[in-house]
Amino acid sequence: MHIIRLLLAASLVFYASAQTTDSSQTDSASASATATAADYATSGISYADDSSTITLSNSATISDISSAMATANATAAASSSASGNGTRSSSSPTQTLLVGTAQTTTTLNGTVTGTATRNTTASSTTTSIQPTNTVPCNGHPDFCQRKFSNITYVAAHNSPFVRQGNLAANQQLDVESQLNDGIRMLQFQTHLVNGTMYLCHTSCELLNAGTLEDYLSTVTKWLRAHPYDVVTVLMGNDDVVDPHNYTSPVIASGLIDFVYTPPTVPMPLDSWPTLAEMIFGNHRAVVMLDYQANQTAIPWLLDEFSQMWETPFSPTDRAFPCTADRPPDRPRENRLDRMYMANHNLNLQVDLAGISLLVPFFPLLNETNAITGYGSAGVAVSNCTEMWTRPPNFLLVDYYNIGSFNGSIFQVAADANNVTYNRDSCCGTAGTQSAAATNRLRLSGGIDTKMVFGLIVGLVWFLV
């Protein structure tokens, strides 16, 4: 039976590799894991009680960082005044100022528009001139003085799973391209195989993107080359294993040098530091685990559902209702004081012989990742903002580079953040080909024969 499964998995790999000329894209079928139709763990899971606050040890001391920033800024201001220059530049990244511009009076979390609030820089009543930004934070100077919890980030759903033609793929461009284009949350599934943590979608026989350590090493390399960016890594513990299985990949990859450790669990919205504080302290990687995280034992491995909540995962409804899903049974006042993620990756549900499969709805990507129109990300963010008085912190999407124009999803986030977006900055080396890639996934009747072939192979694999 196992041999038959491997043969079927190999046939799917052959099908996927036939769609690309790059032999390095071939999936490995050497590892195995239990196959499920869900995109996250559905059994053996539990949610922590976040009704009381726990103070963590070894946390980032933001008050000390703020004090150091104030001292540095005062010194820089004095130096600027002596030279008759209102700003200061330096060839040393460690001396770059990451502080606010002139302040004006607004509401606490932004400019109120109707019943909803857009993300923007929180301000005080002072109008005194402050030292200006010399380097943007996450690509925008305005973000430096905003709290991490007061920004909308674009998140790549199943970031590592880049396989042209493969049933289990969710992205077209690799993680380095994703980060270069502006993705600031990387989300994915993990599976423990023979003591090693792998990045596998549903099953390592279906799509194996390599080890977690190798993937995080690429992320770490990017962080070292981009010292003014903050990235969130959200890992799915699909095998519901002990969280200590994640410490070795984080340490060995070097990502441990950048992890942010919060002072408490949970973290209310106002407790999060500003991006400038995180950058100044070099705590630029927020690492989360969906299930089994234990922050008293591993303070830097954040328990996702204590720190934020999600709308329904793997959505199939084009209306994308902004109702709270995981964790369940939380009062509204609790959710209003936590970050949240809007899952905006439209799926096609296929039920065959009692097996339910969810695959990305390719033909509608141009509309799903668009700014306007029914089922668009722009409308979804607007609905969420009205319902929860603020935009989502994370906008989780498939094939982020495809939309009403290349990278339109970043325009949606920029609108939520009340900043500008350069449409010419996206996406990767394949961005100009995104529309053609989408069209190749369609037939005149709207049915994708490649998808159907993959579904048949996958179905047989599940049934054997």
Which among 393, 384, 398 is positioned nearest to 345, based on CA atoms? 398
In angstroms, the CA 251 to CA 227 distance is 19
* Of 175 and 115, the one with more pLDDT: 175
Q: Assign 206 a pLDDT band (cuts: 50, 70, 90).
A: confident
The full DSSP string for 109-141 is: SS-EETTEE-------S-----PPPSS-BTTBG
In angstroms, the CA 212 to CA 246 distance is 9
Range with lowest mean pLDDT among 89-98, 162-171, 441-450: 441-450
Which among 313, 288, 325 is positioned nearest to 303, based on CA atoms? 288
The full DSSP string for 30-59 is: S------SSSS--SS------SS-EEPSS-
Quickly list H helices, 284-359: 304-307, 332-336
State the catalytic residues. 157, 201
Measured in whole angstroms, how far is the alpha carbon of residue 380 from the centre of its chain? 17
pLDDT, tens only, 44-56: 899 998 888 999 9
Residues 278, 148 contacting (CB under 8 angstroms): yes
pLDDT, tens only, 268-295: 999 999 999 999 999 999 999 999 999 9
Which among 109, 117, 108 is positioned nearest to 386, based on CA atoms? 117
Q: Assign 42 a pLDDT band (cuts: 50, 70, 90).
A: confident
For strand 231-237 and strand 301-303, is the pairing parallel, antiparallel, or unpaired? unpaired
Residues 428, 177 contacting (CB under 8 angstroms): yes
454 pLDDT more than 70: no
Q: Is 68 helix (H, G, I), strand (E, B) or coil?
A: helix
Cα dist. 324→18, 328, 387 in Å?
A: 41, 8, 11
What average pLDDT does range 193-201 have in this prediction?
96
Q: Which runs of E-coded beta strand occur in 116-201?
A: 116-117, 153-156, 185-193, 196-200
**Which residue is it, tokens 């799926």?**
347
Any idea how long the chain is? Answer: 464
Give the angle 355-356-359 at the CA atoms, nearest 5°: 130
Residues 280, 246 contacting (CB under 8 angstroms): no
**Which residue is it, tokens 């490649």?**
450
**Which residue is it, tokens 């990235």?**
231
Domains of the chain (ranges plus CATH)? Answer: 2-55+150-463 (3.20.20)
In angstroms, the CA 65 to CA 261 distance is 13
Give the angle 393-278-94 at the CA atoms, nearest 5°: 140
Q: Assign 32 a pLDDT band (cuts: 50, 70, 90).
A: very low
The full DSSP string for 380-395 is: HHHHHHHHHSS--SEE
For strand 285-289 and strand 347-352, is the pairing parallel, antiparallel, or unpaired? unpaired
Helix (H) or strand (E) holding 259: none
For strand 208-211 and strand 196-200, is the pairing parallel, antiparallel, or unpaired? antiparallel
* Of 50 and 155, the one with more pLDDT: 155
- Ramachandran category for residue 410: left, alpha or beta (phi over 0 → left; psi -120 to 50 → alpha): alpha
**Which residue is it, tokens 């890992």?**
235
Token readout for 196 is: 């090693």
Tell me the pLDDT of the chain averaged across its residues.
Answer: 78
pTM of the model: 0.78
Q: Assign 202 a pLDDT band (cuts: 50, 70, 90).
A: confident
Token readout for 147 is: 């709290």
What average pLDDT does range 420-445 have in this prediction?
57
In angstroms, the CA 92 to CA 193 distance is 44
Residues 375, 413 contacting (CB under 8 angstroms): no
pLDDT above 70 covers what percent of the chain?
Answer: 67
